[in-house]
Structure 1
């Protein structure tokens, strides 16, 4: 059932983004009195699920959820419909319009994607607000997974700078480390600087960057799972301060010791209501005790703010710009062969995993805003067949005063189609490979 909920969220997300993106092209074309022959959600090779013609435009829903399109009369696009181009240009055709109008029509979808992200972020800021964890208040440093330690980190490191710049909030610290070249940390009272090498990021990226760094938290008990081992020995508010007589303070230290004592008896030193007691228990092979820490030492570092309308309108474009910068850096990481990040690129067959197994509107809208920025960035790439490719040649025409012939544009468009097909093969190949590997490893 969970997978269907995730797929439903993905399809809704794609539908929203595709409709708004294509509506940008559609409305701009209509404004400049350009004929739009088709407006489709998803692609419709061979057949469509639904179609209806209203005026000059056929509206429809395709069966292949890889995007959507508007077919504008007199424009050489991915449909490669060149029959129309053999006839003399008509006033309502794209090719008859001035270069500046054609440029606006081509970039309108990207503009709408960015505008949509700003609107969504503004809505999130006004309803659920923004939570930040201030890095300068994380006095206990950070805990790192095994792959995080391969980058050169040690538990307790306090990260001061990434690429010689301080990162004010933890929200952007993990991605800054993945995109950074070097990091400055405070370790055991000493300032240390080391490089973040691309080949050392491979293992982190295999886990899609999740969980390799987290703020260090103390071992205190906030909630206990019913019928768990913890429910027999621990109480809410307990603070664990020793493990088999050895002093511990942080959750990463506790987990490290716990993993060394599978199927073994241990003694925990616990401070309960101001009194120190010892509790003996047997650690199962799973090492799952069944309690959740409160992370009380993060409270001073955590800030929460809900915005009014005016402040949300001011803050939302900043969030969108920050997300665009993240996408640019992510693309740089993907094209670097040393990181092997291209192997982790997800397509439609795995993208549903980005959504919560339970329907979560907050997470849904946050991902939709991010993905809208991602689509805007992708379409800006100067690849023939994408909006950025069309825009590049139009800008060149505006500068030089010379327009490429239809035959030349057809050849360029064909090159773009081959590039896009190659990218699709890479993405789908990654999806299929990862699915096969997950089945084999089960």
Structure 2
């Protein structure tokens, strides 16, 4: 069921974004009197279509993109026969270079506007709800899991600065811009001293797996019982919500991570618990030979802070967040080209993106992911690769600057090369996604 929800979310999101992107091309083309023969969301085969005026509008079966076919333009259709005839006034090739440039930028511009509007709207509607650094540090600091321990963090550390800068939101510790910064580091308070913990330049590669953040850091929280599980030791002995575990078989505990650590590899036949309930201290002794857990979900007693923004603030903050995604993409590409980041670990395709949407339908997360994807698509489409909008923009910019138009034969060859490159890249990304799946890695002994 989770897989279906993920798939439905990414298909809906891509359909919205592709429709808007191609709509940007269509509206710009029609504004300059160009004939648009076909507008399609998805790639053939067609599911259904209708004709309105001179344009056929189609919904097609493969939801990995879309296209607008403009008369007189060398595009994915590679309709070279029509290009042998003299240009007609309504054709793309008959229009001034600046108009053709605006048409090719139309989809990118719409994606940028869409991403910015989404982030402004989310900021205005939901504001920011976060756990402050001070609240985390006041309650015991962080729990350092395996990935955190690898870089030198320890459970109980209180992180006070990021790259030498003050911060407030605990979530800032795992922001992508932290891991993509040069010579990144955390400053932590440990045993009354300040210590700098360096973050490796390629550390972000470790956070691409869906469970990676659960293996990094989390705010430390007290060993207080939340929900008690059915048919568990906790239920048998009468532990109830709100109880606080103080001691396990002679070992004092104050935090949930200490409870987990004590129970890991526990090999005694019975367990002795000391529990605080209100002003009472209760003790429980129970047979434990076949158990590995006490059987409760801990209460996460974090004090959350909320900030609401007016429209003016939302416009500023939302726009910064939208373009921040583009700057992170540029930074990540730079690190991949320099070899600091692994291409296979850093790139994600449809499967990886679908996982990011999550297995439950959450509209706030859906729109946040859609806004992020809109900005990423705008950036990717602007890359100067033939067959992408950026390739057309590159050739049109050359034409405007030099006053010389590349020949149709050159543009056709460039389009073919670009399409082959993009096809190979898509195959690589999809198979790279597949080989990131755990059971596939186990099957081929990649773990």
Output the TM-score relative to the length of structure 2. 0.86
Preserved CA contact (<8 Å) 1:268 1:279: yes
Worse-matched range after superposition: 149-158 or 203-212: 203-212
Partner residue, 2:221:
217
Partner residue, 2:136:
138
Worse-matched range after superposition: 144-153 or 350-359: 350-359
Partner deviation per Cα, 1:274-296 (whole Å, 9 max, x = no partner): 33333344557774444333332
List runs of 5+ in structure 2 lacking aligned partners.
none
Whole-angstrom distance in 1 between the partners of 2:432 and 2:313: 42
Preserved CA contact (<8 Å) 2:263 2:293: no
Shift of 1:155: 1.6
Partner residue, 1:84:
82
Matches within 5 A, 1:35-54: 35-44=35-44, 47-54=45-52
Partner deviation per Cα, 1:319-341 (whole Å, 9 max, x = no partner): 21233333334444555655435
Aligned length: 437
Whole-angstrom distance in 1 between the partners of 2:60 and 2:245: 58
Whole-angstrom distance in 2 between the partners of 1:228 and 1:437: 34
Partner deviation per Cα, 1:254-293 (whole Å, 9 max, x = no partner): 2222213167533333222133333344557774444333
Shift of 1:41: 0.6
Shift of 1:13: 1.3
Matches within 5 A, 1:175-254: 175-180=176-181, 181-186=183-188, 187-198=190-201, 202-207=205-210, 209-211=212-214, 212-232=216-236, 233-254=238-259
1:105 aligns with 2:103: yes
Shift of 1:245: 2.8
Preserved CA contact (<8 Å) 1:266 1:283: yes
Worse-matched range after superposition: 191-200 or 232-241: 191-200
Partner residue, 1:34:
34
Partner residue, 1:421:
423
1:10 counterpart SS class: helix
Q: 1:408 to 1:129 in 2, by over 3 A?
A: same
Choose which of 61, 80, 84 in structure 1 pairs with 2:59.
61
Partner residue, 1:266:
271
Shift of 1:206: 4.3
Q: 1:168 to 1:82 in 2, by over 3 A?
A: farther
1:37 counterpart SS class: strand
List runs of 5+ in structure 1 lacking aligned partners.
none
Whole-angstrom distance in 1 between the partners of 2:289 and 2:376: 44
Output the TM-score relative to the length of structure 1. 0.87
Instruction: State the superposition RMSD in angstroms.
Output: 3.0
Partner residue, 1:406:
408
Partner residue, 2:159:
159
Q: 1:142 to 1:359 in 2, by over 3 A?
A: same
